[in-house]
Structure 1
Amino acid sequence: MQHTTAPRTGRFLVGAAAAATLVLAGCAADPEGAAPGASEGGGGDTIRVAYLATGSSLPLFVTAEKYAEEVGIDIELVEVASGNESITGVATDQYDAGFAGIGSAAYNAVAEGLPVRYVAPMHSGYIEDYFIISSQLAGSTEEAATLAEDMSGLAGQTFAANAPGVVTEALLGFALERAGLGMDQINLEHIPFPDQVPALANGGIAAGILSEPFPTQAEENGSGYRPWATPTDEAPLPFTGIIYNTDWAEENAELATDFLRAYAMAAEDLDENGWDTPEMLELVEQYTGADPAIVAASRQHHIDADLEVDFDVLLRYQEFFMEQGSLNYAEIIPEEDIWDFTWRDAALAD
C-alpha cells in the first residue's frame, strides 16, 4: 500500500479537467472547507484513491492497511486538500476512487454528465453531535437544551457553517428547522471549523455546525454547548461517500468490486469494534496527525456495515441544496442516478 500527497505547486487543470473545474466552480469544497486542486494521474493495477486527512476518512485507512492485501489489491492513498479536489480528480481520471462529502459539487458533476458517482456510503453521524450554541447565549448543556426548544427569538442573528453547498450546511438547516428557525431568517456566515470555536466564545455567532474534535474542544473550554444528546434509537445520517470514476470501474470491474470487498470488511470492523480502539486511533494519528487522546474523547463517527444508505435522507439534502441555490440545474435528479451500487452489490454477493 502506498501513501502519497498530491503536489500543490502551481499546477493547473487543462482539457477535460478544466471542464470539471468549471462544473464545480461556485460549489463548496467539502466538510473541511479547503480549496480545490489536482495531481498527476496513475494507471495499471494499483487503485489510486483520493482521501482527506481527517478522522472521517478512517474507513479508507482501514481498507488500505488491513484488508487490501487480503483481497489481493494494491491501493495508493493520495492525500488531497478538499472534497472538490477529490471529485475533480476522480471525474477526470486522475484518481480511480475517492472520498467526497454529500454535497452540491458531486450533484453538479453528475448533472454535467461527468463519469463520477457515489458507490457506497462512508461516515455518518447525528445532527446532535454537530450543532452547538454559543456560551454567550447558554452557559451549560442544560441551558442550551432549553434554548434549543425554541430559537425563533434569534431571527436575524449570525449562525455559521464551514462552507456553502456542503453537507454540514444542510445539517445547520435541519437543526434550525428543529429549533424553530429557517435559513432565510438568519445571517449565515461560512467560517472554517477551527475559527468557529472563538466565535462561539465571544458571541460572534449564535450557533454553528462543528465537526469533531472541535465541538468537544469548545465544550471543554467553555466556548459553547451542544443542546442535544446523541440519539440511541435512531439511525445516523449519511455525511460522506466513496466515489468512483465510472469509466474506470466499468473497464476494471473486478478491481472496482475487490476494492469494495475490502472496504466492506473495513466497515464491518469499524461497526463492530468502534472507531476509538487503540488500533484505529493509531491509524488516524498516522494519516492525520491528530492527537489520539483528543480523538478518543470526541463523539465517534459511524458507518453502516451493510453499506446501505437512506435515499429519503439523500433526497432531502438535494432539495436543501436546490433551495439554497447551490445546484446548477433546475429539476431534482433521482438519487438512483447519483448513486451506483453495481460494484457494492457484487462485492457483498461474494
Structure 2
Amino acid sequence: MLSKKALSASLGRRGAIALAMAAVVTTSVGGCGLLGGDESSSSGGSGNLEKSKIKVAVMSTIDLAPLRLAQDGGYFKNEGLDVEAVEAGTGQISLTKLIGGEVDIAYASYTPFFIAMSKNTADIKLVADASSAGPKSTMLVTLPTSSVKSVADLAGKKIGITAPNTVSDTLSKSVMKDHGVDASKVSWVPVQLPNIGAALKNGDIDAGFLTEPFITQTAKQAGTVPVVDTATGATQDFPTAGYGSLGKFVSENPKTLAAFQRAMQKATRDAADRSKIEPLLVKYARIDQDTAALTTLLTFQSTLDPRRIQRVPDLLLQMGAIPTKIDVAPMIAAQATS
C-alpha cells in the first residue's frame, strides 16, 4: 500500500482537489462504481398506489447513492413505497431481469437500454436519470512503469473494460477517437473493475478503464496513474446511467412510478451534501473513510431531460453500436414534479 506522500503523488491534482473540496459533489461513472449492500428495502404503506412494493435491479455503483439515501432516509417510505433492491452483476443482467419480469425497474448504464431498443428486444421506457460523468470520475489508468504515457500510446494495446457495449466501452472509444487513436486496433479485454490493478501488474492489460471509488482505491493499492480523463471532449458531462422499466409497467402504474420519481428527486437533491453520501460509501461500498473522502463522485441526476439523454444514442450511432437513429423523447416516461 502506498504512503500518504506516494498516494498524493499518484493521485496528483485530482486527489488534492478532492480533499480540498470534500463538501462538493461531482460524480463517477456510470455506471460502474461500487455501492452494493445487504440492506435492500425500506418499508412503507400502500397509500393509493397501484403497487406499493416494487423491485429494482441494482448494480454495485456509486450512482446508486441517492437510491440508498432514499432507502436509509425513509424517502420511499414517505411516498408509501416499499422498494426492494435486487442485485445484478452488470447492466446487461439488470436489463435481463427487467425483461424477464423479475424486477419492475432496472438500473443500468444507458448503453444496454438503447442497444435493446435498437434490436426491438423490449419496449424500454426511461423512468429516472442517475448520473453524468464528472471531471476525473472516469479514467483510463495504467502503472507508472508502463510504456503508455498518453492517449496516443493506446494504439494497438490491450485495454481492460467491464464488457463490450457498456459505458466503459463507450467512454473509452470516444476519448480515443477524440485524440485520433484507432479503437479498432485495440485488444479489448473484459476485466471487472476491482481487478484492473492486478491485471495491470500481471501484464494482462496495458491500461484499464476505472470509475470511482476504484480510481482512488486502485491508486492506493496498486499505484496506478491516470492516462486520460474519459469525461472529456465528446463525453464531457456525458449521461452515464439511469433507471428503466417496461412500457406495460409504466402505463399500468403511473402513481407508483411518480412516487418512485419524487423520492429519487428529493434524495438526489440531498445528495449534493457530501456529508450524507460518504457514510453510504463506507456502509455499502465497504471502503474506508479515507478512500470515501478522496473519492471523486459522479454528478447525480434524477429528472430526465430528453435533449441531454439524446447524446447517448447519437454517440452510439456514430460509433456503430446501433444501426439507426433512436429518438429519445418517446422513450421517456412522464416525469413527476416534487
TM-score relative to the length of structure 2: 0.74
Identity %: 21
Cα distance 1:226–1:248, how it changes in 2: closer, same or farther (>3 A)? same
The letter for the 1-side match of 2:72 is: E
Residue 293 (str. 1) matches residue 286 (str. 2): no
Partner of 1:58: 65
Corresponding residue for 1:250?
251
Q: What do you get for the CA RMSD once the two structures are aligned?
A: 3.2
Residues 1:77 and 2:74 are matched in the alignment: no
Post-superposition Cα deviations, 1:70-89, rounded to whole Å, max 9, x if no partner, equal 22322222223332232122
Report the alpha carbon displacement of residue 136 of structure 1 after superposing the two structures with TM.
2.2
What residue number does 2:326 align with? 333
Change beyond 3 A, Cα 1:224–1:59: same
1:1-350 equivalent positions in 2, closer than 5 A: 31=32, 44-66=51-73, 67-104=75-112, 106-109=114-117, 111-112=119-120, 114-126=122-134, 128-129=136-137, 130-137=139-146, 147-148=149-150, 151-201=151-201, 203-221=203-221, 223-227=223-227, 236-270=237-271, 272-274=272-274, 277=275, 279-304=276-301, 306-308=303-305, 310-319=308-317, 323-324=320-321, 327=322, 330-337=323-330, 339-342=331-334, 344=335, 347-348=336-337, 350=338
Matched-pair contact (CA < 8 Å) for 1:73–1:259: yes
Write the distance in 1 (CA, Å) between the matches of 2:262 and 2:206.
44
Q: Deviations over 1:235-260 (max 9, x none)?
A: 62211101123212211111111110
Name structure 1 gaps, 5 residues minimum. 1-29, 33-42, 139-143
Gaps of 5+ in 2: 1-30, 34-49
For residues 227 and 152 of structure 2, the distance between their equivalents in structure 1, rounded to whole angstroms, comes to 15
Note the C-alpha offset of 1:221: 4.2
SS of residue paired to 1:226? strand
C-alpha deviation, 1:126, in angstroms:
3.6
* 1:23-58 alpha-carbon deviations (Å, 9 max, x no partner): xxxxxxx748xxxxxxxxxx9421221212332211
C-alpha spacing 1:154/1:95, structure 2 compared with 1 (3 Å): closer
Distance 1:283 1:224, change over 3 A: closer
Distance (Å, rounded) in 2 between the aligned partners of 1:237 and 1:194: 23
The equivalent residue for 2:12 is: none
Between the aligned partners of 2:118 and 2:263, the Cα distance in structure 1 is: 26
1:318 is matched by which residue type in structure 2? Answer: L
Q: 2:41 matched to which residue of 1?
A: none
Structure 1 runs, 4 residues or longer, greater than 6 Å off: 229-232
Cα displacement string for residues 145-187 of structure 1 (whole angstroms, at most 9, x for unaligned residues): xx43xx4354222222121110111111122223331211322
> How many aligned residue pairs are there?
289
The 1:313–1:44 alpha-carbon spacing in structure 2 relative to 1, beyond 3 Å, is closer
Q: Residue 103 of structure 1 aligns to a residue in which SS?
A: helix
